[in-house]
Structure formats: structure tokens, C-alpha cells
Chains A and B, each alone.
Chain A
Amino acid sequence: DQQVKQNSPSLSVQEGRISILNCDYTNSMFDYFLWYKKYPAEGPTFLISISSIKDKNEDGRFTVFLNKSAKHLSLHIVPSQPGDSAVYFCAARMYNNNDMRFGAGTRLTVKP
């Protein structure tokens, strides 16, 4: 059962513009959400997270928005840079539960 879904397998954006990556989840028990970035031949790297008590978390160029009623979160990257080109995974977990569920990933390409 795919409890975390990333429906866009790829996204292409021009350098300097905004990248918006989307993620939907089905399990209302999830209360902590994370974004990971993965370069080829490397493991996923933690990028940013948000707990369900918030609707926005910002870290530099990266902002994650959470809409609990819609069971939807998004990652905004502004401005996008070529070095941001990678696969981005959305992940979700329940309180104090180590079974983290990942989406299938979105490949972001930022063109110079």
C-alpha cells in the first residue's frame, strides 16, 4: 500500500525560478514529514522536516508547507540552482515510530 505518493516522477525548472515538489499521503496518523535529497551513487540526505503542529517550515532556500486537511505537503526551492538537481523523496512517519514511509521520488532538473 502506497501511503505516501509523489505523482510527478520528474520536474524541470530554469535556474533562478521556483521549484515546487508535491507529496500526498493517505494515513492520517502520520504526524512528521521529511524531505530527502538523493544524488546518484549516494544515499538519501535529509533536507528539511515538518511536524503536524505546523503548516510551514523554512530553512534558507527551502520551505515545506503542510496542509493536513488535504493530506498534502510541498517543498519549495527558491531560487533553484543547478546543484539542486537530484531526486527528492518525501517521507512520513508516526509519532515515535521508526517505520518511515517514502514516496517514489521526483527527479528535479534545474537548467542553467
Chain B
Amino acid sequence: DTGVSQDPRHKITKRGQNVTFRCDPISEHNRLYWYRQTLGQGPEFLTYFQNEAQLEKSRLLSDRFSAERPKGSFSTLEIQRTEQGDSAMYLCASSLVQGAGLYNEQFFGPGTRLTVL
């Protein structure tokens, strides 16, 4: 399977704990995106990487959130001191951007569902 994979698929944690999610993009894709989706809403953009560089962050990404893509391949999203409001589906997507990179299709992973008790 050469699609986007995410691990874990489900995570239950207690408020105040730290959690880390992993995303493995499609191997040749140079862009990687993180989204958050809450119940009854569409995905909301959090951040994206071009190779290993984090180029854009949404204002939704508070200072408790940090994302990395150290070698330009897989990425991790860490949430520190989790709050109940962090409960959501966290989606990762990747795309291949060449040249001017005007429009590029994003391929989504299955997501990690986080529940903060």
C-alpha cells in the first residue's frame, strides 16, 4: 500500500498528558500537511511542510502544538498538556509539488482520533 499512513489510529489520553502522532506520506511527495477535524466540521488546516521546512502555520496551532519533519519524509505532531478541546481527528495529507506548484492534489491518510478525558 503506497498511500498516506498514520499511527496510531486511535489515542485516548488524560488531560494534561503529552501525545505524539506520526504520519508517513506517499514516498515521493515533498509536501506534507496536518489538519484537524472536529465532529460535524470539515478539516481545518494546521500546518504544512515543504520537505523538512515548516512553511506555514495556522493560528489554530497553539504553542502546545509542535510539528516536525526532520528528514523530509515522515512527520510527527506533538500536543503537550492536552486539553479536552483537543479531542478531534488529526489528518495528515501529502502532495507532490513540482515547478511553480500552483495546484496540487492532496492525498489524505485515515487520521488519528484523539480523545482527551
Q: Shortest 3 CB-CB distances between A and B: which pairs?
A: A102-B42, A43-B108, A44-B108
Q: Offer 10 A-B interface pairs, CB within 8 angstroms, sorted by A.
A: A36-B108, A41-B110, A43-B109, A43-B111, A45-B108, A46-B106, A49-B105, A102-B44, A104-B40, A104-B41
B100 touching A96, Cβ below 8 Å: yes
Mark contacts of B32-60 with chain A using CB atoms, 8 A cut-off: 1 yes-contact digit, 0 otherwise: 01000000111111001000000110100
Return A97 CB to nearest CB of chain B, in Å. 9
Q: Is A59 an interface residue (CB 8 A)?
A: no
Where the two chains meet, the residues of B that have a C-beta atom closer than 8 Å to any C-beta of A are 4, 31, 33, 40-45, 48, 55-56, 58, 91, 93, 100-103, 105-111
A100 touching B45, Cβ below 8 Å: yes
- A-B pairs under 8 A by CB, number: 55
A102 touching B108, Cβ below 8 Å: no
Given contacts A43-B4, A49-B103, contact A105 B109 (CB under 8 A): no
Q: Is A91 an interface residue (CB 8 A)?
A: yes
A99 touching B109, Cβ below 8 Å: no
Given contacts A89-B42, A98-B45, contact A46 B105 (CB under 8 A): yes
Q: Is A4 an interface residue (CB 8 A)?
A: yes
| Nearest A residue (CB) for B55 | A98
